[in-house]
Chains A and B, each alone.
Chain A
Amino acid sequence: MSKPVVATTSLAGCFGCHMSLLDIDERILDLIELVEFNKSPIDDIKTFTKECDIGIIEGGCCNSENVHVLKEFRKHCKTLVVIGECGRTGGLPAMRNNNASITECLEEAYLNCVSVQANDEKIIPNDDELPMILDRVYPCNEVVKIDYFLPGCAPRADLIWNALVALVTGDEMNLPYEVVKYD
């Protein structure tokens, strides 16, 4: 039997969840035995080269690029697993959702903030190549259907490990109390 294929990505996140994934220490060797990685920053495969069994998502959607990638993942992965608070609830990036409009955020960031020094032309970046910013930060399940959520900021390495092994082996997910945390 061929090994299950896994893809991972970081959307509007800080890569902390990916760090936590690496935090499984030497078990990473077991993981490589268990699964094959496709599109992922871990192996630097940039585009899907085959259909995957499991897609692991870190981060929510704050721009059009995030939305595009998330939809690609939904298209190419049988099962989507969101890891971390940002993907699950919007997380820290979503703190703008209830505080300010995106216009206010952009003006603060590029025009008014004390640390803005050289933007004499008062430009808010508008190059066509740039992703477009969303009006608010969207948790992943508002954009596509998500199958599993693993909370944490970042999720404990053991949580990711346990869940992943269960998904790959088809065993029941056993998530001990100490590892399911929202922070």
Chain B
Amino acid sequence: MSMVIITINGKEFSAKTGEMVVDVARKNGIYIPTLCNMEGVIPQGSCRICTCLIDGRTMAACTTPVSHRMNVETNNAELEKIRTTIVELLFAEGNHYCPTCERSGNCDLQALAYRFNVLVSQFKQIFPTRNVDAKNPKILIDHNRCIQCKRCIRRMGGSGKPAWFSFKDRGHKVKVNIDHELTADFTDEMAQKAMDTCPVGAILKKEKGFDVPIGRRKYDTEPIGTEIEKEGAKL
């Protein structure tokens, strides 16, 4: 595999052709905020939060492969504003009652809102009517909290095989649709994997929850992305 040189925030890095900008940045200790992206899962730019200035144009860093002499700017006031607005849109679009959510404190959406210091959303909440699907014996899907990132669809079940999770409808009505027949014999491991795949509290493993006390949860003390940035500081 051939190598290319790219510039991120004024510094040069080498990367393999075909690698996505977001991954190259991460490996070099530069955090680009993401929601729908997941390491090791085929990317599909849908949240648009990783939007960066790539060669002067706004592009999604998760689906843009590096090319030689590419110039990437990962953050500035305008990009941060765009990202914040997207987070606010997501909070307004669904029903996110954080105090009731088992994922609170470990939720990527909430963590981004914390990172961007969102004290209130600029959008009026829509309060859409959505349901909770608890048919599966091991997991429940709370559509109120789903942000339609498609991570479950992309990661659960093998590609090319009949899908376990899929989208239904389109536009603002789009929702995740689980194949109850194919997932009827979900194991605990699969349920855990599904829950870990979801960046928010839309997929929850049944029977156990709230097991990490407040104060010790993932994002209680440090903003999302800190781990990556700490690695970067060491480099």
Neighbouring A residues of B110 by C-beta, 8 Å: 182
B94-127 toward A: CB 8 Å interface, digit per residue (1/0)?
A: 0111111100110000100110010111001101
Interface size class of B (residues with CB under 8 A): 20 to 34
Neighbouring B residues of A99 by C-beta, 8 Å: 129
| Complex A-B: 15 CB contacts under 8 Å | A85-B97, A89-B97, A94-B125, A95-B95, A95-B97, A95-B100, A149-B119, A149-B120, A151-B119, A175-B117, A177-B114, A180-B117, A181-B114, A183-B98, A183-B101
> How many residues in A have their beta carbons less than 8 Å from beta carbons of B?
28
Among A98, A136, A141, A182, the residue within 8 A (CB) of B104 is A182
Q: Are B113 and A182 in contact (CB under 8 A)?
A: yes
A178 contacts B by Cβ under 8 Å: yes
A-side interface residues toward B, CB under 8 Å?
85, 88-92, 94-95, 97-99, 136, 139, 141-142, 146, 148-151, 153, 175, 177-178, 180-183
Q: Please, how many angstroms separate the alpha-carbon atoms of A183 and B98 in the complex?
A: 6
**What does DSSP make chain B's interface, helix, strand, loop or mixed?**
loop
Q: Please, how many angstroms separate the alpha-carbon atoms of A151 and B120 in the complex?
A: 8
Among A97, A149, A153, the residue within 8 A (CB) of B99 is A153
Q: Are A85 and B98 in contact (CB under 8 A)?
A: yes
B214 contacts A by Cβ under 8 Å: yes
Chain A's nearest CB lies how many Å from the CB of B208?
A: 19
Among all A-B residue pairs, the 4 with the closest Cβ atoms: A153-B99, A182-B98, A149-B120, A97-B127
Q: Known contacts A177-B223, A182-B98; is A142 also within 8 Å of B124 by CB?
A: yes
Neighbouring A residues of B105 by C-beta, 8 Å: 181, 183
> B45-100: which residues lie under 8 A (CB-CB) from chain A?
95-100
Neighbouring A residues of B99 by C-beta, 8 Å: 85, 91-92, 153, 182-183
Q: Please, how many angstroms separate the alpha-carbon atoms of A148 and B120 in the complex?
A: 9
Among B114, B120, B129, the residue within 8 A (CB) of A88 is B120
B128 contacts A by Cβ under 8 Å: yes
- Closest chain A residue to B91, Cβ basis: A89
